[in-house]
Amino acid sequence: MSAPMQAPILTVTLNPALDLSTATEEVRPELKLRCDKPEVDPGGGGINVSRAIKHMGGQSTAMVALGGATGTRIADMLKSDGLSVVRLTAPGETRQSLAVTDRSTGGQYRFVLPGPEWHKAHVADMTQAIAEAARAGGWVVVSGSNPPGVPAGFEQMLTVRLKNSGAKLLVDTSGEALRVLAGSSTPVDVLRMDSHEAEDLAGRPLPTREDSAGFAAGLVKDGAARSVIVARGADGSVIAGPDGAWHAAAARVKVVSAVGAGDSFVAGFVLAMARDWPVPEALALGAAAASAAVMTPATDLCRAEDVDRFYGERVITQL
């Protein structure tokens, strides 16, 4: 059977990390803590989105800023995963992150190091490279944190650069970059955030789906984005945009790890949009992928058979 037709998808990861995961009997200060052999994975929002798209039978190109021996190691891992990779040169050694599970309590300690510092010339080169790679149109996904030195208004600069290509931009970011986007009048095509981030921006609780949808619709009206998605965890996701406001329910599953759920959601949503599905169905595929991701350990993302099953049981509501 031939694969469904889809528009190109370019994922962008500016601040990737080599993720090391291990466990020890007990995390205590001053002592040498003997750890298990670490699991090693390439990490970063865009990388995870590309990996999840591949799990779901889709195609994407992962544009990743990599530097030094760690960067080369990540590039090799991505290629052996069968991903199509465009390598940008980062201005220094790619960072690492360490997750240590304390077996005595089950608690996980996560140590995330900063990436290399970017300067204006690096940002200009990278923006140019993204615009050139997106000339074929389709979708560009900017996901994950920006490295030190990349300005908080970078996504707006990219929106302007992408205008001539016809490519649509989906942004899933946090912190200062999200605050700048929320207050901007240069709209990205799709802006995604979680409930905590939405409540922080709104300055008030958003307890119901209608509250989240109303807040999202307000951002659309103010010109921050053409569509806004708010992820509500176990309550699924809402979207507000030109097609109105919709909710897609999450499947009821046992949560093993919530890590990677957001990236799996973005993968499902953007893959459906690239296949020209209606927005509510794309929201439902994203919700199915997120539900599938929480059933697996942190680095495993979503399994195709789980996504298919949950999508088959989808519940979509117009708000």
Q: What is the 3-state secondary structure (H, E, C) of the chain?
A: CCCCCCCCEEEEECCCEEEEEEEECCCCCCCCCCECCCEEEEECHHHHHHHHHHHCCCCCEEEEEECHHHHHHHHHHHHHCCCEEEEEECCCCCEEEEEEEECCCCCEEEEECCCCCCCHHHHHHHHHHHHHHCCCCCEEEEECCCCCCCCCCHHHHHHHHHHHHCCEEEEECCHHHHHHHHCCCCCEEEEEEEHHHHHHHHCCCCCCHHHHHHHHHHHHHCCCEEEEEEECHHHCEEEEECCEEEEECCCCCCCCCCCCHHHHHHHHHHHHHHCCCCHHHHHHHHHHHHHHHHCCCHHHCCCHHHHHHHHHCCCEEEC
Kindly name the residue from 172, 189, 263, 300 that is annotated as catalytic.
Answer: 263
Q: Could you confirm whether 172 is annotated as catalytic?
A: no
Catalytic residues: 263
